[in-house]
């Protein structure tokens, strides 16, 4: 009997890439409010996909009995929370709604956490660090992790929190200014526009391609207990190096535009310690930044 999956945020960036993969294996139901997603992102998925426009806080409208719930429908950028701190409550309520559905159907849960939890912590970043208090976005994800651990302790639900590092790849158009910097910079420079860099460009990011992230999500779906996993490449680059690589790929020499840092508690460096993910999941990212940028170029050249 084919498996049945529920993917919240399944029409979004990471979610739609995951749905394409899952649709080859079983029935997939998507719930998405299309805040930063689009049904166009689902054109590569198979017909066994059911789309429901809605919010993860209201899963009672979805009549499915999934073996796995992938909860990716979580507001995904820090500026969203600065504009509306009440999103923290929506994230927690959405997480509880997912966990209650999992409890009802004995589903495994895999959900999107964030490497921003490591803001202010010296890299490389390990899952067992004690996070600092930095912003609303990270507090929402920390809260989601803690409530998930509680559901595991109380009800035995298997929940895996995936701390995504700088994910980039296909289907980011609908994210606009919330898209990953690798994709934003590539699109700007392809059109001969200067990418905008906060500060001096020496801030560093651990870039991980979306295909690798999808692999990590699927591997985590069969893990028991409650766990937190880093999903990164394990190597980082400065934004100046990113611009240099894109220039080399495009055969251009575009200089970035530097502006004064406008964000308090800005994340200056991310670097995943991937030891636990390799040991428990058997996951190691394979797509280098050079290869990922090449794939992005092919993707946009074909459009």
Domain co-membership, 241 together with 229: no
Domain co-membership, 265 together with 276: no
Mean pLDDT of 132-137: 94
DSSP string, 159-196: EEEEEE-EEE-SS-GGGGGGS-HHHHHHHHHHTT-PPE
Domain co-membership, 74 together with 112: yes
Domain co-membership, 116 together with 258: no
Give me the residue label for tokens 């406008």: 262
Looking at the chain, how many residues does it have?
A: 303
Mean pLDDT of 232-241: 98
Of 61-65, 117-121, 154-158, 273-277, the poorest mean pLDDT is in 61-65
Domain co-membership, 121 together with 136: yes
DSSP string, 81-124: HHH-TTHHHHHHHHHHHHHHHHHHHT-EEEEEEEGGGGTTSPSS
pTM assigned to the model: 0.96
Compare 191 and 264 and report the one with higher pLDDT: 191
Q: How confident is the model at residue 265 (pLDDT cuts 50, 70, 90)?
A: confident
Mean pLDDT of the chain: 95
Domain co-membership, 103 together with 246: no
Q: How confident is the model at residue 124 (pLDDT cuts 50, 70, 90)?
A: very high
Q: How confident is the model at residue 146 (pLDDT cuts 50, 70, 90)?
A: very high
Domain co-membership, 87 together with 152: yes
Domain co-membership, 48 together with 19: yes
Domain co-membership, 116 together with 192: no
Domain co-membership, 91 together with 227: yes
Q: Say yes or no to pLDDT of 63 above 90.
A: no
Confidence (pLDDT) at 127 = 98
Domain co-membership, 86 together with 48: yes
Mean pLDDT of 95-112: 97
Q: How confident is the model at residue 104 (pLDDT cuts 50, 70, 90)?
A: very high
Mean pLDDT of 113-124: 96
Confidence (pLDDT) at 46 = 79
Percent of the chain at pLDDT > 90 equals: 91
Confidence (pLDDT) at 116 = 95
Q: Say yes or no to pLDDT of 1 above 60.
A: no
Range of the domain at 185: 172-204+236-269+292-301
DSSP state of 67: S
Percent of the chain at pLDDT > 70 equals: 99
CATH number at residue 246: 3.90.25.10
Number of domains the chain is built from: 2
Domain co-membership, 122 together with 27: yes
**Which residues, 6 or more positions from 265, have their beta carbon under 8 angstroms from its beta carbon?**
119, 120, 134, 135
């Amino acid at each position: 009997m084919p498996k049945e999956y529920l993917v919240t945020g399944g029409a979004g960036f990471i979610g739609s890439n995951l749905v394409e993969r899952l649709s080859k294996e079983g029935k997939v139901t998507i719930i998405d409010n299309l805040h930063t997603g689009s049904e166009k992102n689902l054109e590569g998925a198979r017909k066994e996909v059911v789309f429901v426009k809605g919010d993860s806080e209201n899963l009672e409208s979805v009549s499915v009995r999934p073996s796995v719930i992938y909860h990716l429908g979580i507001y995904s950028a820090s500026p969203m929370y600065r504009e509306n701190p009440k999103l923290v409550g929506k994230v927690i309520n959405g997480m509880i709604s997912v966990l209650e559905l999992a409890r009802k159907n004995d589903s495994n849960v895999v959900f999107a956490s964030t490497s921003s939890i490591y803001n202010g912590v010296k890299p490389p970043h390990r899952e067992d660090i004690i996070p600092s208090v930095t912003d609303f976005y990270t507090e929402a994800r920390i809260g989601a992790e803690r409530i998930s651990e509680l559901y595991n302790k109380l009800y035995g639900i298997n929940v895996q929190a995936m701390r995504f590092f700088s994910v980039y790849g296909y289907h980011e158009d609908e994210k606009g200014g919330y898209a990953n910097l690798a994709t934003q910079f590539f699109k700007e420079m392809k059109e001969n526009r200067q990418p905008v860099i906060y500060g001096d460009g020496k801030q560093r990011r651990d870039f991980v391609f979306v295909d690798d992230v999808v692999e990590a999500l699927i591997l985590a779906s069969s893990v028991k207990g409650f766990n937190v996993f880093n999903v990164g490449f394990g190597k980082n680059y400065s934004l100046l190096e990113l611009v240099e690589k894109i220039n080399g790929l495009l055969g251009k020499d575009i200089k970035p535009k530097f502006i004064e840092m406008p964000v308090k508690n800005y994340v200056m460096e991310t670097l995943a310690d991937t030891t636990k993910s390799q040991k428990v999941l058997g996951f190691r990212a394979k797509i280098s930044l050079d290869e990922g940028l090449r794939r992005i170029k092919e993707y946009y050249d074909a459009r």
